[in-house]
Structure 1
Amino acid sequence: MDRIFGILIKQANNVIARDADKFAQTLDLTGMQISIIDYISRYENDQNIFQKNIENEFNIRRASATSALKLMEKRDLLVRVPMQNDARLKRLILTPKARRLSEQIHTYFSNTETKISEAVGVENVAAVKQGLKNISGIFED
Structure 2
Amino acid sequence: MQHDQHAARYVSKLSNKLRRRIDAFSSRDHMSGSQGKVLHFLLAQRGDIFQKDIEEEYSLRPSTASELLKSMERNGLIRREALPGDARKKRIIVSDKAQCYRQEVMADIENLEEELTRGISAEDMAVFFRVIRRMLSNLS
Q: Tell me what 2:61 maps to.
A: 61
The equivalences for 1:77-96 within 5 A come to 77-96=77-96
Give the SS at the match of 1:60.
coil
TM-aligned CA distance change 1:90 to 1:19, over 3 Å? same
**2:30 is matched with which residue?**
28
Q: Report Cα offsets for 1:21-70 as digits up to 9, x if no partner.
A: 01122243211100111111110xx2200000000000000000000011
Aligned partners of 2:119, 2:16: CA distance in 1, in Å? Answer: 16
Q: Deviations over 1:72-102 (max 9, x none)?
A: 1111110001111322110000111111112
Q: 1:136 to 1:3 in 2, by over 3 A?
A: farther
Deviations 1:101-129 (A, max 9, x none): 12111111111111122154443111111
Query: 1:49 maps to which residue?
Result: 49
Identity between Structure 1 and Structure 2 (%): 25
Query: How far did 1:14 drift?
Result: 0.7
2:97 paired residue number: 97
2:135 match: 135
Aligned-partner residue type, residue 31 of structure 1: G
Count of aligned pairs:
138
* Alignment of 1:39 onto 2:41: yes
Between the aligned partners of 2:120 and 2:14, the Cα distance in structure 1 is 11
Q: Which 4+ residue blocks in structure 1 deviate beyond 2 angstroms?
A: 2-5, 119-123
Show the counterpart of 1:14. 16
- State the SS of the aligned residue for 1:123: helix
RMSD: 1.4
CA distance, structure 2, for counterparts of residue 130 and residue 103 of structure 1: 30
The offset of 1:12, in angstroms, is 1.1
Which whole-Å CA distance do the structure 2 matches of 1:7 and 1:120 have between them? Answer: 21
